[in-house]
Amino acid sequence: MKKTLLAVLVSSIAFGSYAAQWNVPDLAIGGAELPQSVEHQSLVDGVDYYQIQRGTSQGEEYLLSSGIVNDATIKDYSAKLNELQVEYHIESAPETAPNGEKMDKIIRLRGFESAEQAAEQAKVFKQHGLNFSPRFSAQDGYKTHGPFEISLLRVDLNQYQGKVASILANDKVTTAETVSSMAKRNEALAAINGGFFAFNDQVGDLGAPAGLYVKNGQLLREAANQRPVLIIDNSGKHSKISIGNSVTTEVLLDINGKTVRIDGINRKPGVILNCGGYDDTPSIEAIHDFVCTDASEIIVYNAAYDDQTPQGAGQEIVIDPNGKVTEIFTQRGRVIEPNYSYVQLTGDSKLNVEVGDSIDLNSKVMVDGQEYKLSEGVSMLNAGPTLVTNSAIDITSRNTQGFNPYPSTGDHAGSQDDDGLGVSGAMENREGFYNGWVLRRHPRTALGITDNNVLYAAVVYGRAPTVTEGASITDMAALMEALDTESAINLDGGGSSMMVLEGKRTGSSSDASEREVSDAIIFTR
């Protein structure tokens, strides 16, 4: 293994035999021309790893933030803070909404020496009906010089003899596993975390993908429609990576020659994390980290789900490996047999089916408006938002991919949050969520592909004040644009963000220990 350490202002200087091929550019996070040191390791033919330290701390401070709040809350908070004789600032959000409009304001209180001091003051304000969250200013979405700890994998897919592959935790839909464990189990050269997933049993099955998942040509989980998709095609000699800006699925049952559309596959009935489903409430629009519901669903299960189908009221139809109905039960919950399928009906759902009938599963996947034929070697996973489209930073796609601050529902009580974003409940829209999730800096993971088939996998570690601040979604888009990617996509982040190289983590999780996730993207030897 070849290893070189170098320090640069804008881009890396020449190193070893790879100098003529590629130098690390200015990665743009925190602005241009920040100090940037690079440690390089040549792994195998076509695969190089770069550990990058970028920027320096500029004496940022701890503060208290209200998050984005509406005009009525601004007026209420201002009156109470004035009565308490506390200095505060009413400030604009770091960026506009994706439609270009200005969002509501944020109240910030500055000048705290530590996170503990800010947290104690937040408790005092809570007693006066004021909800503030402690923040470190470098992570609150505004301009900063870092620092940023970045792990970057560069994979020339024209040379790389291994494969890029998507791996499910414990090879099941409904479990979770660390990236380190998945990398070890598959003897991977390197690995990163993959798509979004249900982070507790209230929003779905813990560990289950929160949207589309295709494994080796088989649809294992339906899409949250209109969200972007990462496609990995291993049907040829070399892995091919592509990114779709919009994916939809139709899960279809062919019953005695008649086609019936159903709600989903291998998913907990009734709850749809990230929405974008079929006839759900309050919206069929994709809404990130929001739970839609449907009391009457038809969902099919197979051995990829778990050892048993979900239990509860309703019907369950058992289908043998030949596609014949063998049993129909009036309660849900059966041990899953290999090569069998199980169709569950909840609420008012009905199917005209009898023992002996034929049922086949025939699903359809549409990517950017065109049907994508699933075949052996093809995997897909949910992600988003799109970072780069046609070699340019993509902001507008956020509106349709689940990150619109103004979705088609006035009820925002379903907003979920596994990373403590401090989203205010006093809003008529999701501006607070957009500011907290998209604009604030968190650990992030992303993939990008160039027009000459070079793949970049990047992890920006974060939530470690003065050590590594993390990145906003726009920061990650700038990084991928700096790498000359033609298209790029954001993966799960926060405590999920992790890269593993030769069995070792390249950085520290922002959780107390490495988070268990639903899936990983591995690079085989």
Tell me the pLDDT tens digit for each residue of 82-119. Answer: 999 999 999 999 999 999 999 999 999 999 999 999 99
Average pLDDT for residues 488-505, to the nearest whole number? 98
- Can you say whether residue 447 is alpha, beta or left, with left for phi > 0 and alpha for psi between -120 and 50 degrees? beta
Asked, for residue 518, whether it belongs to a domain, the answer is yes
Q: How many CB atoms lie within 10 A of CB 502?
A: 14
Asked, for residue 409, whether it belongs to a domain, the answer is no
Together in a domain, 438 and 469:
yes
Together in a domain, 358 and 397:
no
Asked, for residue 299, whether it belongs to a domain, the answer is yes
For the chain, how many structural domains are there in total?
3
Q: Tell me whether strands 386-389 and 218-221 are parallel, antiparallel or unpaired.
A: unpaired
Question: Where does a domain end: 78, 108, 143?
Answer: 143
Asked, for residue 292, whether it belongs to a domain, the answer is yes
Evaluate if residue 174 carries a pLDDT over 90: yes
Structure tokens of 365? 């996947």
Average pLDDT for residues 333-362, to the nearest whole number? 97
Beta bridge partners of 54: 36, 148
Together in a domain, 338 and 238:
no
CB crowding 181-192: b at 16 or more within 10 Å, else e: bbbeebebbbbb
The CATH number of whichever domain residue 285 belongs to comes to 2.60.120
Average pLDDT for residues 302-309, to the nearest whole number? 97
Average pLDDT for residues 303-313, to the nearest whole number? 97
Together in a domain, 343 and 452:
no
Query: Which residue segment(s) compose the domain that 122 sits in?
Result: 62-143
CA distance 363 to 254: 10
Asked, for residue 10, whether it belongs to a domain, the answer is no
Together in a domain, 293 and 304:
yes
Question: Where does a domain end: 143, 159, 178?
Answer: 143
Residue 251's alpha-carbon distances to 136, 186, 260, 277, in angstroms, are 45, 31, 9, 11
pTM of model > 0.85: yes
Together in a domain, 109 and 184:
no
Residue 121's alpha-carbon distances to 111, 303, 436, in angstroms, are 12, 52, 21
Task: Return the closest-CA partner of residue 442 out of 146, 139, 68, 148.
Answer: 139
How do residues 444-484 score in pLDDT, each as one tens digit? 999 999 999 999 999 999 999 999 999 999 999 999 999 99
Residues 514 and 494: beta-carbon distance below 8 Å: no
CA distance 314 to 173: 22
Q: Which of 38-42, 204-208, 413-417 has the lowest mean pLDDT?
A: 413-417
CA distance 342 to 328: 10
Structure tokens of 125? 């304000």
Asked, for residue 80, whether it belongs to a domain, the answer is yes
Together in a domain, 46 and 179:
yes
Together in a domain, 152 and 294:
no
Together in a domain, 190 and 336:
no
Together in a domain, 327 and 458:
no
Asked, for residue 468, whether it belongs to a domain, the answer is yes
- The amino acid sitting at 424 is S
Together in a domain, 269 and 333:
yes
Average pLDDT for residues 159-166, to the nearest whole number? 98
Asked, for residue 412, whether it belongs to a domain, the answer is no
How do residues 222-260 score in pLDDT, each as one tens digit? 999 999 999 999 999 999 999 999 999 999 999 999 999
Together in a domain, 342 and 398:
no
How do residues 417-437 score in pLDDT, each as one tens digit? 555 555 455 567 899 999 999
Q: Tokens 């792990």 correspond to what residue?
A: 151
CA distance 522 to 164: 6
